Amino acid sequence: MDTESGRIRGSLAGGVRRFLGVPYAAAPFGALRFRPPQPVPSWPGERDCTTPGATSPQLPYAGGMERLLGSVSVPGEEILNLAIWAPERRDAALAPVIVWIHGGSLSRGSNALEAYDGTRFARDGVIFIGVNYRLGAEGFSVFADGEANLGLADQIAALRWVRRNIWAFGGDPSRVTVMGESAGAITIAALLARPDAASLFDRAIMQSGPPDAKPAKTAGAVTRRMAKLLGVAPLRATFAELSPARLLDAQRRATAGTTPITGGPAFALTLGTETVPRHPMAALTGGAGSGIPVLMGANTEEYRLWFVPTGLLAKIGRAHIAVAMAKFGISPGTVRLYRRNRPGAGLGELFGALATDLLLRIPLNKLADARLRVPGAAPSFVYEFAWRSPVDGLGACHALELGFVFDNIESEEAVAMAGPDAPRRLATDMHAAWVRFAATGDPGWPAWSPERPVKVWDGAADAVVLAPREDERARWR
């Protein structure tokens, strides 16, 4: 297979061609460390792309999360690479393409994880591409003497590579869907908000991640804390002199105890930069990206991924709810309504329901509403993943839907979260909807309208529900 930088050799099994560790940008180390991505130098001969490429420096999950979320570490400096799954059979018509941006709080994840294997997408006629991008301090540090959002710049470079090269794999460069979950969805929202979004992709899938970015002072809190722990200045030049291992150790200490629900120092996209010039939510609700079809949604009990394994569910008290009410302007009437709608729920569950809606469901509803107001806007499709895992009280938690979207419920990570008896039909149907969206721009249920149709994936009826929990949604303005 020929790419713009040279010839690559992949593998073939079960009717699927695999090309792993395909570089889309130069190794970001040495003189290129903490610099924007640069073109890949050409190579002579044929490059072996039969094994996973190097992964961005990262630490495995801890604090109970390691039982549910996997981690893979592949050594090497060529971390800006792609994993590509393509159908063996090449039809006359070019195939739709999905580019997968993994989650992991901008500090973990890779295209080498079994949970992100694209075989089932390729089996169903889609070319599936997983992107490795810089994570943690390497990708999202904020320096006075350097550029921010380098991990996001990597994603842009990867998407441009796909536009230029995917035809060689049988892919249609005019039918590229970018798809991401959690932090991956947050970065996709930022990409969708860019003026050049349509030059990068044609459709977008955002799973459990809202449009968000922070001012440089807020986004740089982790960098400053790491610098203090390391005894150095928070500058590109000084961080570039430190090994990835030293940065990871400081990163671990600087972010200890942080969760997306309870907050704390964490990596984030930085506002006011070349890559994120405006707040993504403001740009998107103002009409940016309105010409691109979007599929988006969240899980009913997102909070349980962080609250259950860590024991936080039982530790949340009235003081936590009071602080949240003051910080986010949540009225006593809203709290009473949520409590009334959840008889028997504990304070942790009440806090989690409020946080899930505040951080995810309501922002995505508002985005879908705003797109309706743009004349001629492309359709938006909204879903809710409501199937409840029987494992350790996880319920319909964050990331649970991934095994179903990938039709990969037998993977080790999917079994850890959903158990060994996850409903096969739910995986078949959900995966098929994502494939349809990539191929046609329509997943198979009504587009968002003033009636607010939501496809609820619960493993039973999997029905379209009009304005679910409207009494609660109406409380958020």
pTM: 0.97
pLDDT at 470: 96
| Site of tokens 């990409």 | 191
Residues forming beta bridges with residue 390, ordered by sequence position: none
Q: Report pLDDT for 92.
A: 76
Residue type at 24 in one-letter notation: Y
Q: Which positions are annotated as active-site residues?
A: 182, 302, 398
User: Can you say whether the dihedral through the CA atoms of 326, 319, 220, 283 is positive or negative?
Assistant: negative
Give the distance from CA 23 to its chain's centroid: 21
Ordered strands of the 6-9 beta sheet = 2-3, 6-9, 46-48
Nearest to 448 by CA among 368, 386, 390, 384: 368
Which tokens belong to 408?
């990969």
Q: Measure the CA–CA gap between 121 and 23, rounded to whole angstroms.
A: 21
Cα gap 230→224, rounded to integer Å? 10
Write down the pLDDT at residue 107. 97
Contact residues for 197 (Cβ-Cβ < 8 A; gap 6+): 191, 288, 289, 292
Q: How far apart are CA 12 and CA 84, in angstroms?
A: 12
Query: Residue 260: what pLDDT?
Result: 87
311: its two tokens: 């024991």
Strand partners, 362: none
What does the alpha-carbon distance between residue 383 and residue 457 come to, in Å, rounded to a whole number?
7
- Quickly count helices (H) and strands (E) in the chain: 19, 14
pLDDT for res 259: 86
**What is the reported pLDDT for 91?**
80
- Give CA–CA dist 176/22, Å, rounded: 18
Q: What is the SS3 assignment for 84?
A: strand
Kindly give the parts of the chain with pLDDT less than 70.
Answer: none
Count of CB atoms situated within 10 Å of the CB of 6:
15
Cα distance between residue 77 and residue 425, in whole Å = 41
The answer to whether 180 and 206 are in contact (CB under 8 A) is: yes
